[in-house]
Amino acid sequence: MQNPLARVRGAGSSGEGSHHWRSQRYSALILLLLTPWVLMTGVSLAGADYPTAIATMSSPFNAGMAIMLAGSLFYHIQLGLQVVIEDYIHIAILEFALLLIVRFACIVAFLISAIAALQLALGA
């Protein structure tokens, strides 16, 4: 999928070859691997009170999984919304603005979740 010829030709009309396509699949695979943890943790924390939720999220394992989930989830969201915007928004300036906003929002969302998860794990 990454033939040296692609680099010479400018990697196709997208300018980045199959990078977006592969990233979407890799992030999907990571999310798939995280699914059992998401389901178990989600069900066990459904309707949980504050001390129970704190106890669960303060374990290093759960904090690590939460940060991993936030990273792959918001990356996957950015890639997915990008395709939807590119497919349906045909006003160039609006498309550009939306793509920037989605990118920015996903990075900020990841940073906030990572900091919150670390704060819970470190008990600060």
Partner 1 sequence: MVIGRKRVVAATSEFDFREKGQQTMSSSKRPMSPYMLGPYYKFQITSVLSILNRLTGVFMSVVTAPLLLCWLVALASGDEAFMGLSTWLGSILGKLVIAASVFSFSFHLFGGIRHLIWDAGWMLEISQVRASGWIAVIASLLLSLAVLGAGL
CB 14: neighbour CB atoms within 10 A?
A: 12
Region of 3-11, 12-20, 67-75, 91-99 interacting with partner 1 (CB under 8 A): 67-75
Could you tell me the end-to-end alpha-carbon distance of the chain, in angstroms, rounded to an integer?
Answer: 46
Verify binding: residue 89, partner 1, rule CB under 8 A: no
Closer CB to partner 1, 31 or 99, in the complex = 31
Region of 5-13, 74-82, 93-101 interacting with partner 1 (CB under 8 A): 74-82
Verify binding: residue 113, partner 1, rule CB under 8 A: yes
- Spell out, one character per residue from 3 to 22, where the chain touches partner 1: x when CB under 8 A holds, - when not: --------------------
CA quadruple 39, 40, 41, 43: dihedral sign:
positive
Nearest to 70 by CA among 109, 40, 39: 109
Verify binding: residue 28, partner 1, rule CB under 8 A: yes
CB 1: neighbour CB atoms within 10 A?
A: 8
Helix-strand-coil split of the chain, %, nearest 5: 80, 0, 20
* Structure tokens that stand for 101 in this block: 């906003």
Site of interaction with partner 1 (CB under 8 A): 25, 28-29, 31-32, 35, 39, 42-43, 46-47, 49-50, 53-54, 57, 66, 70, 73-74, 77, 80-81, 84, 109, 112-113, 116-117, 119-120
